Every structure is written in C-alpha cells, then in structure tokens.
A and B are shown apart, each in its own frame.
Chain A
Amino acid sequence: MTLELDGLTHRYGSERALNDVSLALEDGELVALLGPSGCGKTTVVQAIAGHLDPASGRVSLRGTDVTGVPPEDRNVGIVFQSPTLYPHMTVGENVAYGLESGDLTAGQVSGRVDRYLELVELADRRDASPKSLSGGEARRVELARALAPEPDVLLLDEPLSALDKGLRARLRDEIVRIQRETGVTTLFVTHDQEDAMSVADRLVVLRDGVVVAAGPPRRLYESPPNRFVASFLGRSNELSARVESDESSTVTIGGAEVALDEVPSEVTDTARATVHIRPSDLTVEAATQPDGTSGVTRDALDRSGASADGGQSDDRSRALEMRGTVTRVRDVGRRYDVRVELDLGEVVTVEMHRDKLSQSDRVTVSAAASDLSVFLVSN
C-alpha cells in the first residue's frame, strides 16, 4: 500500500472538515477523490502532504506512519489548483528546485530537468520565464516540477479547474498519459465528476468530510450506493416512492407499481423511499389516451435508449410507466432535454435525440426496472 489514510478527522474551529476518512492507494494507482466544493477534499490533500496536522487519524506512506513528519521529509509531490511556479526562477530552475534539495550532482539535476521537461513536452521552454507560459504550459511545468523528485505519491488538487473547457480535456488526457508513463501513485482531487470518471481507476466520493462511496467509476455510476452519489455522479431524476413489503412486494413510484424483485435494491421494509433514474434511461412517448384528440397509438417517438441496447425493449423491461405533460423542450446541442411534469406533480427530465415533442404534449414516460435505483429515506 503506497498511501493509506486511517480514520482521518479534522476540524477548523467548531466546523468539522473531515470525519473518519480512510482510504488506501495501491502502487501505481490513479484514484480520484471527488466531491462538491467545501466537502473537505483540500483538507485531505493538505493532511497527506503534511501542511496540516489532523486532529486525529493516521497518514502512512509506504507502510510508514508519517502523520507527524514535516512536508519536506515526506516525498509527496503536489500540484495545486492555483499556479505556484516561482516567478523569480526560469522554467528549468523551477523543475530543478525540488532536485537541488536532495543530494544529486549538478549534472544529474540537469539531466533530470531535461527528462521531465521532455515528458511534459516543454523541453524547448527550459530558459523561459514562467510568466511567458500559457495556462496549460504552466500546468505541465508544475507537473514536471512535482514529478522530477520522483515522489511516492502525486497529489493533484483540482489541477484543471482554472482552465477553459477545451484545454481542460486535453490536459486531462495528458495527465493520464504522464501518470501511465511514470507509474506514479496519484490522487486526483476534483469536484468535476466528468474529470474524475474519465481519469480514475477508482473513485472515492467525499461529502461533508465523510467518504460516502468508493469503487470503480462505472460501477458507482450505474449502481450508486446512495442518493448523493446517484445525483452527484451525472444527472439524475429523483422521485419519491413507497415500498410495500407485504405479499405484493412492490414499489409505488409516481402512481405506477413495479415489482420489487425487478428493482436492484436492498430495501425490504415498508418505508418511504426515493427512486433515482438517469435522464438517458427514461423513454418518452406521446400518450395513448381515451380523451386524446390525436389518438396517436403508442408510436415510439424516441427509442434511442432502447436501440442502443440492440432493440431489446420489449414491454416487460419497460416496467415503469408514468403519465405526464411536457412543460419544456430545451435544445442543448447534442440532445434535447425534455421536462415532463408527471400527473402526480413531480417533474422529470428526459434526454431525447430527436425533437418530436413540444410543450403541453401529453406523454408517457417509461423506464426499465433495472435502471432504477431505490434508496430508503431514513428520516
């Protein structure tokens, strides 16, 4: 285990920042620590780097307890959200800075600087001033500076947040490439679920200083362990539901009943619950209704969700059906976001790929039981 946090707890004054945070990084792993701003991510980074003394808990690097060890003796590389290149040194001097504190000869330092500047593809900017670099270049030099001393762990604290969108995606790929090439154990801290999911081998989700989920990104996305993860990892519709655990064993959602055994959930007791459905997992069709004027007969208007699965959309898998009225169709470029107010008052958003509906159309919204995530409401 390269990095291990054990029961890390910290508070700023009376405010609790971290509560019993434990996580472990295997050698060479790229783990994303994901959470909304103010959830304690930076506190975790500061505690690992040694810039903060946690109230309790343990930080171990390569099996050694380093909780009381000052930052300079930890061998942890760090890249902050805001640029921290030294303006009074050249790019090369910045990268050499972390090497000169060790016992390398001048020649070794110079060779290492060249190698790491090449790694980030900025070898030709060695004598430049940091001020002359673009935002993306500055980030890469910071990566080179953090990596040059060959740290046990690399901490990236929101490394992309200050960049614009296109650059962000490019640098994200760049970080993954560099991480693969160097094999450095990396903790990538971000509030952006897209960044986190696209770079990480494993996700750790932090909320209000508590780890609420950990696991492979795809698994957390598809079967979120709790409501927070369901809504934080990608977009999600939340509907209230009631679970009947008597002989019928059904979940009642928006007036429709779904057999409980078809729904992936561990809910058993009679209880109030919430159901999460991803907008892309919902299908919307013009309603077939006796009082309908058009009398459209269940023509599927948008089958993108089903066709992507190879047309396995038989009636049985569309277990949940709810009636509603379209309140808004928003064109967001790649798709349309259709907002439907269900007859029972709740509102859902459905992603469509064709624009066939307009406001105040009567529709049927349906979803496969396997795409539902049911969570108990505890209070």
Chain B
Amino acid sequence: MSLVDATRSVTNSRRLPPLLAFGLLGGILLVYFALPFVAFLGRTGSVPVVETLLQAGSRTAIRNSLLTAPVATAIATVLGVPLAYVLARETFPGKRLIEALVVLPLVVPPVVGGAMLLSVVGRFTPIGAAAARVGVPVTDSLLGVVLAQTFVAAPFVVITARAGFGAVDERLEQASRSLGYGPIATFRRVSLPLASRAIVAGVVLTFARAIGEFGATMMVAYNPRTMPTRIWVDFIAGGIDAIVPLALALLAVTLVVVVTVQRFAGVPTVVDR
C-alpha cells in the first residue's frame, strides 16, 4: 500500500481530529516542560529532604523568602492596581511611553535590572550611602531583596489588572456615577469587584515571580540569603542533588500560595442562577 493510499484510507474510515497537528506541536512543548520536572524530582531520594530543610541555612533562606515576597507583592499591588486603572481608563500624551516603562522590567534581564537598581541605591550612591548612614542599608539587606523583587515582579500585576479593568465596560462606571457614586466609590463598588479575577491572577503571578526572583536579588542583596540565592550557593557547593530539598520547598510554597489565593480571593461574581 502506498503512502497516499494509506492516508486516504485513514481519512475515509475515521475523521481525524481537526486540530491534530496543533495538538502534536503543542504536545512536544508539553513533554519538554514535563521531562525536566520528572527527572529532577527523580533525584529526590539521594539527599534527605526534611533534614536538609531543617538546617539553619535553609531555614533562614525560607524565612527570608516568606518575609520578602509577600511584602514585594503587596507593594506591587497597592501601587500597581491604581496605575493599571489609570492606564485602562485615561488617554494622555506620553501614554505609550508609560506603557513601555511598565514592561521595561520584563524586557530587561533581571541581572541587568539588579545592576540598574544598584546604580541608584548602591552603597556608594547618594541614596544608598544616606540609607546606610541612618541604619537601613538598602543593599545586602531584606529591604534590598524587597526592592529587587518588586522591580522585577510588579509589571505582572499592572499588566494583568490593566487588562481586567479594560474588560469592564466604561458604561457600567458611568451608570454608577449617575446613580450617585463618586469616582472612588465607583472604583471600589464596581470596577474593582468586576476586575477582581484578573487582579488576583496578577497578584499570584507577581508573587510567584517575586519569591523565585534570583538575578536582580543576587546583584542587590546576595546576603541575606533567600531561597533562590541559597539554591545557587548550594548548587555551587554540592551540585544538583544538593538543591533538591530547597527547590521542592520553593515549589511547595509557591503552589500553596497560588492555590490558596485563588480559592479565597477568587471572589464569587455570580449570584444565584
């Protein structure tokens, strides 16, 4: 049977799923995602996970990460959501420039971003020196970690929230204004609840990015160690097997936060049907 005949008989006997080719291409990518994951987890047995995590170095790293990432996420959200709303609603000269600025931290490699931060708050810059003098050093401190994480992760909440606000019909807000609510009350009672799903998604992405942030953190605050910087140090000393415990812990923290936030903050928008 020739190839043509074979193809034809298949086409005739059973219709192929219409998106088969798409699925196959996507499948390659999925395998590529899953394979390292599985291979990495396969090494779990070689190093005692719990014992390693209980060591002082690991515990400090976990604590530092759990302190900094939520703070960075909160800062990004409190400052980013209002910015997202302005970008979604207003037109003004220079808006394109502002939008470009928002994605800049995504485009710049984190290590370079860290270097840029250093050039503003580094120990020998006026700001860095002044901060060190009053006893709140910006570099090599938890504050430095927060600054690095915020710089790298904040664009996620801005971009996602902006899309969320953009999807809320402006007429809904106008109706609210005409029903007696000022702009702030309208934002709180209409725009925010209706964009909440997008905002929550943005917050989760921002948190995941912040807690896993390495490049900029390494430049600004190599010490005190967070989980990612600790992983780097362990890797240099002991190779892949050495980092499995902390990597698992990082993964677990991120997963727990993502699931919890989505469960509790995924505000129910549908009343009874």
Contacts and interface: CB of A to CB of B under 8 A. Distances in A.
A368 interface: no
Contacts of A78: 174-175, 178
Contacts of A149: 179-180
Given A84-B169, A88-B193, A129-B270, A98 B179 contact: yes
Given A80-B171, A128-B272, A86 B190 contact: yes
B194 A88 contact: yes
A99 B9 CA distance: 69
B171 A72 contact: no
A102 B180 CA distance: 7
Contacts of B89: none
Contacts of B179: 72, 97-98, 101, 145-146, 149
A70 interface: yes
Interface residues on B, range: 20 to 34
A71 B272 contact: no
B181 interface: yes
B221 to A, nearest CB: 41
Given A84-B169, A98-B180, A149-B179, A51 B270 contact: no
Contacts of B269: 87-88
A217 B69 CA distance: 67
A76 interface: yes
A249 interface: no
B176 interface: yes
B197 to A, nearest CB: 11
Contacts, number: 77
B182 interface: yes
B15 interface: no
A99 to B, nearest CB: 8
A101 B267 CA distance: 23
B271 interface: yes
B194 A87 contact: yes
Nearest to A49: B178
Nearest to A97: B179
A180 B272 CA distance: 34
B174 A51 contact: yes
B273 interface: yes
A88 B178 contact: no
Contacts of A87: 194, 269-270
A51 B194 CA distance: 21
Contact of A72 (B180, B190, B272): B180
Contacts of B59: none
Interface string B179-198: 11110010001100110000
B273 A101 contact: no
A66 B214 CA distance: 56
A84 B171 contact: yes
Nearest to B190: A86
Interface of B: 169, 171-172, 174-182, 185, 189-190, 193-194, 267, 269-273
10 contacts: A71-B174, A71-B178, A72-B182, A90-B272, A97-B176, A98-B180, A101-B185, A127-B272, A149-B179, A149-B180
Interface of A: 49-51, 70-72, 74, 76-78, 80, 82, 84, 86-90, 97-98, 101-102, 127-129, 131-132, 145-146, 149
| The 5 A-B residue pairs with the shortest CB-CB distance in the complex, in nearest-first order | A101-B180, A98-B179, A71-B177, A129-B271, A84-B175
